[in-house]
Amino acid sequence: MDVNTVMLMLAIGSFLFGLLLVAFKHNKNNPQKVPYWILAKILQGIGFLLLYLRTDRFDFLTVPANLSLLAGCAYEAWAVRILLGQSIKRKVHLATLIVIIFACNLAYFLVAPYGVGVFFLLQSVFYFLPGFFLLGKSDLKFPMRIILGVCYFVTGSVFLIGSVVCFILPDIAMGLEGGIISAVIPGLSFCMFLMSAFLLLMISKERSDLKVLEMQQSLIESEVRFQRIVETSIEGILIFNEN
């Protein structure tokens, strides 16, 4: 499978997954709403689609393509953190976007393969982040989150190795540009996309079930508290309506 095909499949898959999340968000029976998640998939879809049009060269269109893709990866990291019951500070969110914009514009003026190395380095960071979140402490007991966290770490490591090769061994990176770097990384991204889509949906379902359980427990505690008040009160209790 060539790089163009992988990029196109990633673009279509990201858009379809984004639409699926929109459907889950508006499901009346059991809405699944996770901030940043839909936007992450739409941005990733745009990034992959633009890269599909520019897989054979590095030009002005590569900058918005990678900017959109990196922003989507950052939003996915924030979505994973929120799924695990944590929050994202607004200043961290804004600082991340500023760094992405600055790095993407800087990479455009760097000679090959250093510009690609910048993109690989940032992408490795945004794969490591959800890995840290998933392997850290969480109220969720879904065992597959450990596997997903390890997969994020493995993918981030591959991008990091690619970045190091581009910076330290540019001649070798130029020689591999049409081979390993262009074939392995898109293929790995596609495998990671399929696995993360399934497992993150499972984590989202567990998060939703946990919230329902907490609401039921709170309701039971309220009923017990009200019953105790009624049974132990020495005063009369009147219940009346508008009639």
Total domains present in the chain: 1
In a domain, 202, yes or no: yes
Q: Are 72 and 40 in contact (CB under 8 A)?
A: yes
Comparison of pLDDT for 208 and 93, the residue scoring more: 93
Comparison of pLDDT for 100 and 2, the residue scoring more: 100
**What CATH number is attached to the domain comprising 168?**
1.20.1070
In a domain, 240, yes or no: no
Go through 95-112 and write b for each residue having 16 or more CB atoms within 10 A of its CB, e for each that does not.
Answer: ebeeebeebbeebeeeee
89: left (phi over 0), alpha (psi -120 to 50) or beta: beta
The average pLDDT across 205-221 equals: 69
Q: Indicate if the pLDDT at residue 103 is higher than 80.
A: yes
* Domain, as residue range, for 118: 3-232
- The per-residue pLDDT for range 60-73, each reduced to its tens digit, is 678 888 899 899 98
In terms of Cα–Cα distance, which of 131, 26, 22, 35 is closest to 85?
35
Q: Indicate if the pLDDT at residue 181 is higher than 80.
A: no
pTM: 0.74
- Residues constituting the chain: 243
In a domain, 239, yes or no: no
In a domain, 175, yes or no: yes
What is d(CA 163, CA 170) in angstroms, rounded to the nearest whole number?
10
In a domain, 98, yes or no: yes
- Percent of the chain having pLDDT more than 70? 72
In a domain, 241, yes or no: no
Q: Indicate if the pLDDT at residue 239 is higher than 80.
A: no
In terms of Cα–Cα distance, which of 43, 74, 37, 52 is closest to 4?
52
CA 61 to chain centre: 24
- The per-residue pLDDT for range 5-47, each reduced to its tens digit, is 778 888 888 888 888 888 877 776 655 677 888 888 899 889 8
